[in-house]
Amino acid sequence: MTSPDLPLDIDLAVEAGVWPSETELLGLVERAVGAAFAELRLTRNDPSELSVVFTDDAAIRALNAEWRGKDKATNVLSFPAFPPAKGGPLPPMLGDIVLAAETVAREAAEEKKLIENHVSHLVIHGLLHLLGYDHETDDEAEEMEAVERAALARLAIPDPYA
C-alpha cells in the first residue's frame, strides 16, 4: 500500500540482485515519486498505478536487448503503459520502471554517491520518461535534467549533474 497523499499507487517488486530491504526501497520510491510530482505540481485525481521492479544486470540486459535492441546492461529502463503525454492527465497505469542492481551499485561507487541517492535519482528519471520527458535533444535534456535537479533538491540530494 502506498502513502495516501501520493498521486498514484506503487507496486514494488524485488526480483533479483542485492538491494536494500523492500521496506527501505518502497520508502525511497515513495519519496522520489512524491518529490517529482510536487515539482511538477501534479495532484491525485483519478487513480493511477506505477510498477517499480528491482532486478539484476542479467534481467535488464535481456529487456534492453529485446525492447531497445541494445545487448548490454543499463541502470534504468522505463516502459510506459500508455503513450506518455507530458502535462496531460495521468493514465490509469503509468507503466514500469526497472532498475539493475550491479549497474546501479557500480555507478554509485564510481561517482561516490550514496546508493539511496542514486536509486532516488534513477526512479525520478524513469518516472519522467513515463510522464513524457526525454533527453534525445539538448533542449529536451536540459528540461528533463532541470526537473530532476529540482525534485532531488526537495529530497536534499546533491545535483547528480554537477
pLDDT average, residue stretch 17-41: 93
Residue pair 22/63 in contact by the 8 Å Cβ criterion:
no
In the prediction, which pLDDT does 5 show?
64
Q: Quick check: 49 and 33 in contact, CB under 8 A? A: no
Cα-based distances in Å from 2 to 20, 34, 46, 90, 145: 18, 11, 15, 17, 26
Mean per-residue pLDDT over the chain, rounded: 90
**Is the pLDDT higher at 100 or at 44?**
100
At residue 136, does pLDDT exceed 90? no
Share of the chain above pLDDT 90, in %: 72
Find out whether 62 and 48 touch, Cβ atoms under 8 Å: no
Q: 128 and 146 in contact (C-beta within 8 Å)?
A: no
**Residue 145: pLDDT band with limits 50, 70, 90:** very high
**Ordered domains of the chain (ranges, CATH):** 9-154 (3.40.390.30)
Order of strands, sheet of 49-55, starting from the edge strand that comes earlier in the sequence: 9-14, 49-55, 93-100, 76-80
Q: How many CB atoms lie within 10 A of CB 10?
A: 19
pLDDT band at 46 (very low <50, low <70, confident <90, very high): low
Q: For residue 1, is pLDDT > 50?
A: no
Dump pLDDT digits (tens) for 60-92.
999 999 999 999 999 999 999 988 777 777 888
pLDDT value at residue 41: 84
